[in-house]
């Protein structure tokens, strides 16, 4: 350990390494969730029916499929950041913490991929008629 | 180099006196975590069901429009608006405003009311439309 100033020894250490980035992205995706989920809720309320034909025809439109994909990215990014903090608060044992965070990453990336693929499939294969 | 071994920890739950701000903060975490699991899985289930074709989607609809389906959806709606409104409160606190004791308490009391009101308005309009 060097014998520099206090701030020099602290810089880049501890939890202060990359917290700001995490914090800002949590806020950016919060605004994304706010706009996109409200849009989804009010769109669903406008649909004449939520049956198979109505839902697939709606999801196949590009001005629906694109915001839906953006919404999935925003939600899963936000929940990955959010649950990471929750896990770090309650899981203290190093091994378990590593495993839980690994699981969280699989869940977030896998869930987003599954949802985006479903939308793309509906959009590209056309609404079933 | 000498480093303090026992660093100070922030006081934990048992130390604080209960108040609306504490309840709201806990609710933000609970609703965020349940949206992250139940809400996100429900959303992906809906999309994959729609992508799987009419037969599987019919099965999904059966579950969604059962009584437990409605219980889950009303619950998700409430969790979303509770989290949304306390998320907006976070934005206000983030810029350094709203910490005066009275102001802080009033917002903490108002937010759950707003969330319940929004949830009720949405679902009453859905059920009214069905009559
Ligand atoms: C729609 C899906 C959403 C999900 C799944 C979700 C999930 C989460 C989770 C799991 C957390 C971590 C909770 C904690 O650390 O205690 C969190 C934090 C947060 N959420 Fe959300 N959220 C959603 C929508 C929103 C919306 C619409 C807003 C904004 C209005 C928002 C604002 C926030 C903020 C500001 C935080 C950080 C709180 C802090 O720094 O302690 N979220 N969210
Ligand atoms: C992520 C979770 C959700 C999924 C997967 C989902 C999907 C569905 C589906 C397809 C049904 C059955 C439709 C039917 O009976 O014909 C249904 C009922 C309904 N849901 Fe949801 N929903 C979710 C959350 C929400 C939320 C948050 C709202 C709030 C605005 C909502 C609004 C409705 C409406 C409008 C109905 C009753 C209308 C009807 O039966 O035609 N849903 N939901």
Structural domain of A66: 18-125
Distance separating the N- and C-terminal Cα atoms of chain B: 75
Confidence of residue A99 (pLDDT cuts 50, 70, 90): very high
CA distances from B105 to A13, A113, B12, B55 (A): 36, 41, 21, 51
Asked whether the beta carbons of residue A118 and residue B48 sit closer than 8 angstroms, the reply is: yes
User: Of B126, B75, B115, nearest to A47 (Cα)?
Assistant: B126
Ligand 1: distance of its center to the CA of A74 in Å?
11
CA distance A52 to A8: 61
What residues of B are in contact with residue A86 (Cβ under 8 Å)? Answer: 29, 32-33
| Whether the complex's predicted ipTM surpasses the cut of 0.95 | no
Mean residue pLDDT across chain B: 92
Q: How far is A98 from chain B (nearest CA, A)?
A: 19
Q: Is residue A9 part of a domain?
A: no
Residue A13 domain-assigned? no
Q: Is the pLDDT of residue A129 over 50?
A: no
Q: Does B32 sit within 8 Å of A79, measured CB to CB?
A: yes
Q: What angle do CA B37, B25, A69 make, to 5 degrees?
A: 35
Average pLDDT for residues A5-26, to the nearest whole number? 73
pLDDT at residue A100, as a whole number: 97
Residue A75 lies in a domain: yes
- Taking the C-alpha atoms of residue B44 and residue A116, their distance in angstroms, rounded to an integer, is 9
Tell whether the model's pLDDT for residue A5 goes beyond 70. Answer: yes
The parts of chain B modelled with pLDDT lower than 70 are 1-5, 131
- A92-119: burial string, b at 16+ Cβ within 10 Å, e else: eeeeeeeebbeebeebbeebbeebbebb
Strands (E) across chain B are located at none
| Total domain count, chain A | 1
Q: Is A120 in the pocket of ligand 2 (CB under 6 A)?
A: no
pLDDT tens digits for range B41-77? 999 999 999 999 999 999 999 999 999 999 999 999 9
Domain CATH code at residue A71:
1.20.1300.10
**pLDDT tens-place string over residues A47-61:** 999 999 999 999 999
> Ligand 1: which of B75, B87, B115 to mutate, judged by most atoms within 8 Å of the beta carbon?
B87
DSSP 8-state assignment for residue A1: -
Look at domain B20-130 and name its CATH class.
Answer: mainly alpha
């Amino acid at each position: 350990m060097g014998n520099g100033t206090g701030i020099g020894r602290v810089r880049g250490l501890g939890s202060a390494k990359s917290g700001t980035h995490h914090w800002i992205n949590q806020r950016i995706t919060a605004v994304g969730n706010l706009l996109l989920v409200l849009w989804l809720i009010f769109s669903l309320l406008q649909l004449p029916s939520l049956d198979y034909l109505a839902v697939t025809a709606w999801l196949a439109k590009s001005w629906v499929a694109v915001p839906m994909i953006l919404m999935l990215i925003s939600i899963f990014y936000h929940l990955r950041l959010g649950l990471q903090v929750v896990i770090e608060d309650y899981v203290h044992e190093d091994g378990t913490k590593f495993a839980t965070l690994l699981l969280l990453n699989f869940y977030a990336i896998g869930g987003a991929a599954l949802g985006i693929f479903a939308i793309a499939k509906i959009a590209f294969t056309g609404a079933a008629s | 180099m000498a480093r303090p071994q026992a660093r100070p920890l922030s006081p934990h739950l048992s130390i604080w006196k209960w108040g609306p701000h504490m309840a709201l903060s806990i609710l933000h975490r609970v609703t965020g975590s349940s949206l992250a699991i139940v809400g996100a899985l429900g959303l992906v289930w809906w999309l994959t069901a729609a992508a799987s074709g009419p037969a599987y989607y019919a099965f999904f609809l059966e579950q969604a429009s059962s009584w437990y389906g409605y219980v889950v959806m009303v619950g998700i709606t409430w969790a979303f608006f509770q989290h949304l409104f306390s998320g907006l409160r976070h934005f206000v606190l983030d810029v350094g405003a709203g910490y005066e004791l009275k102001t802080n308490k009033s917002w903490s009391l108002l937010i759950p009311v707003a969330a319940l009101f929004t949830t009720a308005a949405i679902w009453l309009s859905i059920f009214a439309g069905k009559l």
